[in-house]
Amino acid sequence: MTSPKPVNGVRRRPSRDILSGESADVYFSRAEEILSKENIDPVVVMEVFARREAVLCGIDEAKVLIAHVLGDAAARGEATIETLADGDLIAPKEVVMRIRARYRAFGLYETALLGMMAQSTGWATAARECVEAAAPEPVISFGARHVHPDVTDNLDYAAIVGGCVGASTPLGARLAGLAPTGTMPHSLVLIFGDTVRAAEAFDRHMPTEVPRIVLVDTFRDEAEESLRVAKALGDKLYGIRLDTPSERGRVTPELVAECRARLDQAGFGHVKIIVSGGFTPERIRVFKEHGAPVDSYAVGSYIAGARPIDFTGDLKEIDDKPIAKRGRIPGVTASPRLVPLDIAAWRAVES
pLDDT in tens, 288-302: 999 999 999 999 999
Domain 16-120+307-347 of CATH type 3.20.140.10: yes
Domain 133-304 of CATH type 3.40.120.10: no
Q: Which DSSP category does 210 fall into?
A: S
| Residue ranges covered by each domain of the chain | 16-120+307-347, 133-304
Arithmetic mean of pLDDT, 240-267:
95
Binned at pLDDT 50, 70 and 90, residue 5 comes out as: very low
Please give the Cα distance from 81 to 45 (Å, whole number). 10
188 in Cβ contact with 175 (< 8 Å)? no
pTM above 0.85, yes or no: yes
Residue 310 CA: distances (Å) to CA of 61, 111, 155, 206, 314: 17, 12, 17, 43, 13
Grouping H, G, I as helix, E, B as strand and the rest as coil, residue 77 is coil
**Segment holding 312, helix H or strand E:** strand 311-318
217 in Cβ contact with 244 (< 8 Å)? yes
Radius of gyration in angstroms for the set of CA atoms belonging to the chain, rounded to a whole number: 24
Q: Which DSSP category does 295 fall into?
A: S
Please give the Cα distance from 36 to 295 (Å, whole number). 60
Binned at pLDDT 50, 70 and 90, residue 181 comes out as: confident
pLDDT at residue 2 tops 50: no
Please give the Cα distance from 320 to 331 (Å, whole number). 9
pLDDT at residue 268 tops 50: yes
Could you write out the DSSP letters of every residue in 238-265? Answer: EEEEE---GGGT---HHHHHHHHHHHHH
Please give the Cα distance from 97 to 60 (Å, whole number). 11
pLDDT at residue 3 tops 70: no
Question: Mean pLDDT lowest for which of 242-246, 259-263, 269-273?
Answer: 242-246
Please give the Cα distance from 76 to 102 (Å, whole number). 12
Please give the Cα distance from 146 to 149 (Å, whole number). 9
Where does residue 297 rank: exposed (0-12), middle (13-18), buried (19+ CB within 10 A)?
buried
Please give the Cα distance from 285 to 270 (Å, whole number). 24
